Structure 1
Amino acid sequence: MIAKLTKKKTALLTAAVLGALTLPAYAAEANANADADTVKVKANDVVVTASRTEQMVKETPSSVEVITRADIDRMGAENLVQALRLAAGIDIHENGMVGNQSAIRGMDTNQTLILIDGRRIRTENTSETANYYELQRVNMDDVDRIEIVRGAASSLYGADALGGVINIIKKVPKEDKVGVLADWTSRQKDGGIRLETAKKGNWAFSSSFKTTDIRERGSDAMSNMYGNKYFFDLDGRMDLAKNKWLDVFFDYMKEDLDMKDSLVQATNYDHDRLSTGVKFSGRDHLGNYDMQLYYTYFNKDQETRYRHGGNLSSFDKMRLDSYVFDGKRSLALGDDHLLTVGGEYRQEDYESTRIKGSGTMTRDGITDHLGDSSMKYAALYLQDEWTVTPKWLLIPSIRWDYNDTFGSEVTGKLGTTYKLSKNTRFKANIGTAYRAPTASELFFSWQHTPNAIMEVHINGNPDLKPEKSVNFDLGFEAEKGKTSGKVTYFHNKVDDLIHIHTVMTPVPMPHFHMLANGTYENVDSATMQGVEAEVKHALGAGFSLRGTYTYLDAKDDTTGARLTGRARHTASLQLGYEDPKHGLSALLWNDWTSGYRYEESVGRRSVPRDASISLLNFVVNKKFGDRFSAYLGIDNILDKTSDALAYDGRIWRGGVRMTF
């Protein structure tokens, strides 16, 4: 393990980061950054996540997808799960009725970095829970668009981006407007209000409130997480001067949920998350610049009680305090180079009953240890967008990351787009990535009794090594007339992949039960490779057809066994209809999942199985003027079920949007 930096080195690093953000404009006279010139194009033609600067989707070498506000409204998406359903190459299957995966290209859910306006929002930090709940923790009424970058992005975003990035970009207040929404599904109901103001003096504000009521479902022995969620957001933008802005934000979320997790026990989940911060940004004749400081607080207080008598059987307490300072500066060097330099400093303080520690907590006579951990991160990165010729774009990037537990790591990436003709392009990327173990994975110590015949012990491993990967992808894109398509081959080899090794042991006395002992460990090597394909065709008369397909081969290189929790084949065929004159849109689509590998307990053995399912879905949306719209949808029309894939039947949903 690399030794920790001295305080002097840390001070020098901070100075270097600040210096990178305030570089003086000592460069030759150049064109203004493309950000100032591309605002005329459609929002879905531009992506900012792939390179941290505005790029046309067709130009960027990365495999990207943009889900616009119009797409979200057309789907009637009341949460991120609904919004991401039509995206290619993302696994968002429900995880045992306690959340959803967000896995890209066969990587684990915790290897996807989820951002809001470029800010990290992860609050759970174990391999099993990281990101599982985040897709249900965003108020969709605040979302302007969602950008998805497939493939490792560690050279720009550091650890946690081995699989890719999902960046949720919020609306910017522009006009006086009040919006009211109501959604209803056979699983939950939502109600909310959003207020926006046009600029008053130098300020414009927006504020929103939403409440969600999730229904209980499932058997008496095992139910989903049900109860209430509350969201409150406040955003403001101040014009400091021409082309200079100050953004402030305050987001609060509360969850009061319950779950019957056995015939004898039930758990209450009381969660609070608060995020607040300030961002200064602007642009000049050389490029864009920004810096931001934000804080995230998350508190988890869970109690498990016996369902007969209500006595406490166990409790779980966790608090996270995260402090982040980051920023970047883009410089146009001549006509052919756009240089971006940036940095980040982050500190995460955890206090949890699941982390090994010497302190104790007592509640209703039950004692549990209380441990804490503090990790500090710092980074610098450099990227050059080099227009070699009018047909050839080359983007090299490099990033230096520092972790006070694991030391330094350097990752890099080289991406390129070559225009074979006006409507055909070749894209390629090759790079390295890594993810350092979290505090929970290092120091976990947790005992839990999910039901009367099962006892679970999970232990951290302080000897874990960071996950490291080498990845590349090759893609071809083309448009001809009413048809467009793209195909990409991707390959990602990960060393020291972190997972839990579980040993099941029968315990006959004093009463028979199974003891599951799980310990975090590194797998020597794993490879995820496959093909992504997409075709779109305008049929005419308002109809369009889109098809997506992903083939995935994910295996443990040591044993040759397929990795569980991943499908061999996923496909979607979507028939859309648009009639702007009458404000009508509709979408009929079928999703296929085949060869989903999972393990089933047979006696004392775990046996690998494959699951498959085909789901037919429909949604129709109608606008009544500029101020009112309504939608109605049916998910899983044919009422299919699958325990392995967590589908439990048909879902009806509908909603209305009103603007005043």
Structure 2
Amino acid sequence: MNKNLITTTLLASLPLVAVAEQQANSLDPIVVTASRNPTEITNTVAQVRVIKQQDLSLYQGQTALDVIKIQPGVSSYGSGGADKATNIFLRGYSGSQILVLIDGIRYSSATTGTAALNLLPADQIERIEILYGATGAALYGADAMGGVIQVFSKKTVKQGTHGYVTLGGGSHGHFTYGAGAGYQDDKSSISFNGSHNKNDGFNAIASPYVDSQRDKDGYDSKNGSLAISHKLNDNFTLGGSAIYNRSTSEYDNAFSTASDVITKQRNGSGQIFGDWQYAEGSNLRMQYGESIDKSSNYEDGVNTGTFNTKQQQASLQINQQLPVGEFIAGTEYLKQRVQSDTAFTKTKRDVTSGFVGYQLVQDKFDAQAFVRYDDNSQFGGKTTYNLGAAYALSENLRAGASYATAYRAPTFNELYFPMAWGSGGNPELNPETSKNSEIFVEYADNYQVTRLTGYYNNVKDLITGWTPYNLSKAKIKGVTLTSDWAINDYLFGFSYDYQQAKDASDGTNHGKLLTIRPKHKGTAYVGYRVENIDLRAEYQYVGKYYRTAGETNPISSYGLVNLSGTYRFTPNISVTARINNLFDKDYVTNSATAWGSTTTYNEDGTNVFVGVTLGF
């Protein structure tokens, strides 16, 4: 990125930061994703976004995807409907280049590389942390080129025994019910939650090849989560958690004449851990977990393909408090397996890893340095690292910079999917690699936090297209501005992203924008929050982007307005309502071109959900 552009933008943003006249109600959240160690968000170097339980409660009846795609720096495209296959983009990187964790365990498909966030109900989640940029690669390994999204399953936070039941409904015959219970004392805690969602759906496909696809495409989803922990003594804690989804979704297949096309999916993640606090400020943590992504497709009752993947992960991490700062080190082992009736040439690989790092947290100076080595059984060894530091120029003004390297190994689909109709996987693919620079300036006081971040990424061997191939060079650069305010009972804020993700190879598309990466994205919100009322209005804008290479097959820009609110009649009885796409915007996010034809998918118009929760 042009240095003058960054400097000018940083200086121009400073007048936007004004001192408010009233006291705000806000606390600095603790995050763990940014350094694999609990850290106040005000001491992190990389950009981090935390979506807390109180914010998640406004998304009752929605999914993790619905929550994440409204966040700064995130864009998405799907195939119509909340439950349908959807890809997200973070800082110009696609879903397979974003590492998704659930309670520290990798959660994605080993065949596609993407995570089924559209199948994780928001009511099973305690909070979500988004780590932007490539810093996470040296912390967590491959796939974190664009960032890390970590989902934390719902856990008990109150002493004693408590529980709840929920009931809700809305547009397209949406009906949901759920319940949960928990117990916590000084040594132990346990909670379990379950829900059932059913929706008749709507006709998503706008230009099918056959009329048989012009039907409603609904879904039925059953979900559950469990979390448990117990302190054996003051120094040792054992625990575990799990989250599971079982769903059936109808969808449109423009290449089929069948009238009944469905996919049955099972997704989930589970982990157990032991944590030993062997000294004040120091601990040793052991963890083992597994995640699954299983799907079977059917056309008029006939199975047309089954894809089952499993990831098994074991890790050991030590955090050692030093006289100045903290030393962090660990080792991980990852096993990926594919089981399918589709004949993949190879169906398994292992990754053995080790990492060391140092973190310094002080009043005015924060720093972080990590290096990681991953030995992939298919592609050999790869070393990644990150360096970052931030300095408080005054009580309220903070600035910093970081540099990181990252990589991603191709997925099993990209490598080994059998050839069909002249296209398939490419076993000659090389892993993607990148070098990433980032600077930021942040102004924070009792009323607001405003941050401007500039980033520049050099990407080598970017995997694109189908049949997939390595693009020799790509460059992604951009600026993100976020500002969040809390003044008395009022909340408001905005974000703006300017991004250029371009083909930098010597081919015919040199200088052209990469597919599905809009230059402009923005969000804005305003809310009112008191003891028994929580109201919020939000706006999301996504600029024009291109569905196919060479800046062809354009998708028009669109803007959406959503309203949500919760009213608590008593401490134990509340009603939550949400209206998505308030002005019934008719918009498209996906228009796929293949074999000379174009298939366009509509997204949902105005839709409403109302839910009631009874606590005890």
Shift of 1:281: 1.1
* CA displacement at 1:329 relative to structure 2: 0.5
For 2:292 and 2:580, locate their aligned partners in 1 and report how far apart those are by CA, in whole Å: 35
* Number of the residue aligned with 1:230: 222
Counterpart check, 1:552 vs 2:535: no
- Deviation of 1:378 after TM superposition, in Å, equals 0.8
Cα deviation digits, residues 109-144 of structure 1 (max 9, x gap): 1111111111111135325xx22xx21222433322
From the superposition, tell whether residues 136 and 327 of structure 1 become closer, same or farther in structure 2 (CA, over 3 Å): same
Q: Which position in structure 2 is the counterpart of 1:341?
A: 329
The alpha-carbon distance between structure 1 residues 216 and 73, as it changes in their structure 2 partners (threshold 3 A), is closer
1:352 pairs with 2:335 = no
Match of 2:202 in 1: 217
Deviations, residues 283-331 of structure 1 (Å, cap 9, x unaligned): 23251221111233443222223xxxx6x4x610222232211121000
**Contact 1:475/1:489 (<8 A) preserved:** yes
Does 2:573 align with 1:628? yes
Asked whether the equivalents of residues 154 and 225 of structure 2 are also in contact (C-alpha less than 8 Å), the reply is no
| CA distance in 1 between partners of 2:393 and 2:518 (Å) | 34
The separation in 2 between residues aligned to 1:101 and 1:44, in whole angstroms, is 31
Pick aligned residue for 1:166 from 118, 143, 149: 149
CA deviation map 1:518-574 (0-9, x unaligned): 41211111111111001234465x333211111111111121111111211111221
Which residue does the alignment assign to 1:247?
A: 239
TM-score, scaled to structure 1:
0.80
Q: Quick check: 2:103–2:271 contact (8 Å CA) kept in 1?
A: no
Q: CA deviation at 1:610?
A: 4.6
Q: Distance in 2 between matches of 1:162 and 1:77?
A: 31
2:130 corresponds in structure 1 to: 148
Alignment CA distance shift 1:647-1:44 (3 Å): farther
How many angstroms apart in 2 are the aligned matches of 1:462 and 1:400?
24
1:584-638 CA-to-partner distances (Å, cap 9, x unmatched) read 12112222222222349xxxx9934251112222112111221111122211111
Deviation at 1:425, TM superposition (A): 0.5
1:566-581 superposed matches below 5 A:
566-580=517-531
Tell me the CA shift for residue 654 of structure 1: 1.7
The separation in 1 between residues aligned to 2:343 and 2:99, in whole angstroms, is 23
Matches within 5 A, 1:376-391: 376-386=350-360, 390-391=363-364
Helix, strand or coil at the partner of 2:201? coil
User: What does the per-residue CA deviation read over 1:179-205, in whole Å, with 9 as the maximum and x for residues that have no partner?
Assistant: 1122323243321111112249x6432
Q: Which residue type is aligned with residue 312 of structure 2?
A: Y
- Residue 213 of structure 2 aligns with an amino acid whose one-letter code is A
In 2, Cα distance between the equivalents of 1:570 and 1:116? 27
Within-5 A mapping of 1:196-207: 196-199=182-185, 203-207=188-192
Match of 2:46 among 46, 49, 62: 62
Q: Note the aligned Cα RMSD (angstroms).
A: 2.4
User: How far apart, CA to CA, are the structure 2 residues paired with 1:656 and 1:520?
Assistant: 47
Provide the residue aligned with 1:304 in structure 2.
Answer: 299
Q: Which of structures 1 and 2 has the larger relative contact order (alpha carbons within 8 angstroms, sep 6+)?
A: 2
**Structure 2: distance between partners of 1:43 and 1:658:** 28
Structure 2 matches for 1:374-413, cutoff 5 A?
374-386=348-360, 390-413=363-386
* Secondary structure in 1 matching 2:86: coil
3-state secondary structure, aligned to 1:658: strand
Q: In the TM superposition, what are the counterparts of 1:590-605 in structure 2 within 5 Å?
A: 590-599=539-548
Indicate how the Cα distance of structure 1 residues 331 and 304 shifts in structure 2: closer, same or farther if over 3 A, else same.
same
Residue identity in the other structure for 1:268: I
Distance 1:393 1:520, change over 3 A: same
Identity %: 24
User: How many matched pairs?
Assistant: 561
Give 1:624's aligned amino acid: F
Q: Are 1:431 and 2:431 an aligned pair?
A: no
Letter aligned with residue 596 of structure 1 = Y
- Paired residue secondary structure (1:565): coil
- Does 2:478 align with 1:478? no
Report the CA distance shift for 1:433/1:619 in structure 2 as closer, same or farther (over 3 A).
same
Query: By how many angstroms is 1:579 displaced?
Result: 2.5
| SS at 2:512 equivalent | coil
CA distance in 2, matches of 1:225, 1:279: 40
Contact (CA 8 Å) 2:439, 2:454: kept in 1 or not? yes
Change (3 A) 1:606 1:66: closer
Partner of 2:76: 92
Relative to structure 1, is the Cα distance of residues 390 and 271 closer, same or farther in structure 2, using a 3 angstrom cutoff? Answer: closer
Distance in 2 (CA, whole Å) between partners of 1:230 and 1:483 is: 39
1:223 positional shift = 5.5
Check if 1:442 corresponds to 2:393.
no
Alpha-carbon distance in structure 1 between the residues aligned to 2:168 and 2:78 = 20
Q: State how 1:315-326 maps to structure 2 within 5 Å.
A: 315-326=304-315
Change (3 A) 1:260 1:381: same
Q: 1:9 corresponds to which residue?
A: none
**1:478, 1:57 → 2: CA distance?**
13
**Greater CA deviation, 584-593 or 523-532?**
584-593
| Cα distance in 2 between the residues matched to 1:479 and 1:464 | 45
What does the per-residue CA deviation read over 1:370-391, in whole Å, with 9 as the maximum and x for residues that have no partner? xx5110111001110135x742
Residues 161 and 328 (structure 1), Cα distance of their counterparts in 2 relative to 1, 3 Å cut: same
**Matches for 1:427-576 after TM superposition, within 5 Å:** 427-445=400-418, 447=420, 456-480=421-445, 482-500=447-465, 518-538=466-486, 542-558=489-505, 559-576=510-527
Change (3 A) 1:612 1:299: closer
Counterpart CA distance in 2 for 1:95 and 1:44 is 37
Match for residue 22 of structure 1?
none
Letter paired with 2:192: S
Work out the CA distance in 2 between the residues paired with 1:285 and 1:145.
Answer: 27
Is 1:586 equivalent to 2:535 in the alignment? yes
Deviation of 1:225 after TM superposition, in Å, equals: 5.0
Aligned equivalent of 1:272: 266
Give 3-state SS (helix, strand or coil) of 1:318's partner.
strand
In 1, Cα distance between the equivalents of 2:282 and 2:446?
Answer: 36
**SS of the counterpart of 1:409?**
strand
Change (3 A) 1:545 1:320: closer
Contact 1:442 1:460 in 2 (8 A): yes
Alignment check: 8 A CA contact 2:318 2:329 kept? yes
In structure 2, relative to structure 1, the CA distance for the partners of 1:346 and 1:225 (3 Å cut) is farther
**Per the alignment, in what secondary structure is the counterpart of residue 441 of structure 1?**
helix
CA 1:74–1:302 in 2, change beyond 3 Å: closer, same or farther?
closer
Other-structure match for 1:6: none
User: What is the CA distance between 1:481 and its match in structure 2?
Assistant: 6.0
1:659 correspondence with 2:610: no
8 Å Cα contact 1:294/1:324 also seen in 2: yes
Match runs of 1:639-658 below 5 Å: 639-644=584-589, 646-658=602-614
Change (3 A) 1:526 1:631: same
Matched, 1:179 2:164: yes
Deviations 1:217-276 (A, max 9, x none): 116525675221111223221221113111133443212222242472232212223544
Secondary structure of residue in 2 paired with 1:648: coil
- Counterpart CA distance in 1 for 2:288 and 2:216 is 37
Unaligned runs of 5+ in 1: 1-40, 358-371, 448-455, 501-517
Which residues of structure 2 form unaligned runs of 5+? 1-24, 206-211, 591-601
Is the CA contact 1:568–1:594 (under 8 Å) kept in the aligned structure 2?
yes
Partner AA of 1:395 in structure 2: Q
- Structure 1 residues 420 and 223, CA, compared in 2 at 3 Å: closer, same or farther? farther
TM-score (norm 2): 0.86
Q: Counterpart amino acid of 2:567?
A: K
Q: Distance in 2 between matches of 1:609 and 1:92?
A: 15
For 2:500 and 2:188, the matched residues in 1 are separated by 52
